Amino acid sequence: MNLNESARKKLPRILVCGPNPAWQKTLVFEEFRPREVNRALERDCRASGKGVNFARAVRTWGTAVPVVFQFSGGTNGRNLEAWLRREGIEFVSREIGDETRCCTTVLCKKNACMTELIEPSPSITPDDVDFLKKQILSALPDADALALCGTLPNGPLDGFYATLVKEAVRLNKSVLMDSVAHFDETLAAGVQYLKINSGELLTVTGASDPEAAALELLNRFPLRCAAITDGPDKAFIARQGVVHHISIPPISCVCNPLGAGDVCSGVMLSELLSGATSVEAFTAGLAAACASCLTQYAAEFDRAEALRIKNEMRIDPATPCTT
């Protein structure tokens, strides 16, 4: 073992449950015209999905070590695993009989806009679920945190996230959720940190006001905080009866916002494990998310650029939750 490997093993270890990965195809057009024949200028294919993007952000930030747990199958699954090996991201896959989905990002240079095309999720069996569950549960004692990332594939997954959370809490591990799958059941199991966007929050709660919805979640579940993003608009984090609003500086030359939310979650949990407060950790995550929007590929960013953006962010004084 060399010195770099030794130092890496001492870093906090995050188990990233990303059960629904994707083989990501990015097509770049000078101008994309709906209902017409469009010829791409560039094409790129690589591993993606919320769990993979989360792990990529953690690895780039460099203060923790991610391990992705996922279902993968078919040619797309093999391509996905080969790409993760290329990136040096550790993973545990359950090979399934169905094909891993392919998602296609369409980038229009003229209008600086993105369109995302998502294939249906694959189907899995009870044996697939049992295998991945056992792998994560057996790895939890030696880990420092668990992250639940994204949607679930089609199959018998009732209680899947909740079972993992209960065991992580029993072992005194940090748990962050960036998902709305089996939402109430999973939060009730003991999730400490929730990071989702305002649209997801309003959809899953049926509320009309994001802050009121976040406060209600804090009242109902054993959350330490709810961190809510809103694209380029102000984000906020609710905790212990107060809300902090965080203003995001204008970002010019946005290239691809895909995966920015996953970057925010990965960096946020990395910072929490490094001892940052939830507000500090969320701010760092938001800055990294902004930096990722400047690159062409999902969840890639320059750490130095993220730190520069972080210095330009404004955290408003805490306001009491009055709703």
pLDDT for 323: 46
In the prediction, which pLDDT does 321 show? 62
pLDDT of residue 23: 98
Helix and strand totals (H; E) in the chain: 11, 15
Neighbours of 272 (CB within 10 A): 25
Residue 23 identity: W
Q: How far apart are CA 204 and CA 198, in angstroms?
A: 10
| pLDDT confidence of residue 254 | 85
123 DSSP 8-state letter: B
Q: Is 60 part of a structural domain of the chain? A: yes
Say how far apart CA 252 and CA 294 lie, in whole Å: 8
Question: Distance between CA 37 and CA 308 in Å, rounded?
Answer: 41
> Using CA atoms, how far apart are residues 280 and 283, in angstroms rounded to an integer?
5
Distances (CA, A) of 238 to 32, 192, 265: 39, 12, 15
pLDDT in tens, the chain (323 residues): 333 443 445 899 999 999 999 999 999 999 999 999 999 999 999 999 999 999 999 999 999 999 999 999 999 999 999 999 999 999 999 999 999 999 999 999 888 889 999 999 999 999 999 999 999 999 999 999 999 999 999 999 999 999 999 999 999 999 999 999 999 999 999 999 999 999 999 999 999 999 999 999 999 999 999 999 999 899 999 998 899 999 999 888 888 899 999 999 999 999 999 999 999 999 999 999 999 999 989 999 999 999 999 999 999 887 776 54
E strand or H helix at 76: helix 74-87
Count how many domains the chain has.
Answer: 1
Does 107 reside within a domain?
Answer: no
Reduce the DSSP state of residue 278 to 3 states and report it.
helix
For residue 222, how far is the Cα from the chain centroid?
Answer: 21
Query: How many other C-beta atoms can be found within 10 angstroms of the C-beta atom of residue 242?
Result: 13
Query: Which residues, 6 or more positions from 186, have their beta carbon under 8 angstroms from its beta carbon?
Result: 148, 161, 162, 165, 177, 179
Q: Kindly state whether residue 14 falls inside one of the protein's structural domains.
A: yes
CATH of the domain at 278: 3.40.1190.20
pLDDT of residue 20: 98
What's the pLDDT score for residue 30?
Answer: 94
pLDDT at 255: 86
What is the domain extent for residue 239? Answer: 3-20+51-99+124-320
CA dist 309 and 112 (Å) reads: 21
CA distance 318 to 247: 13
Assigned domain for 212 exists: yes
Can you give the pLDDT at residue 317?
Answer: 83
Q: Is 65 left (phi over 0), alpha (psi -120 to 50) or beta?
A: beta
Residue 42 lies inside a defined structural domain of this protein: no
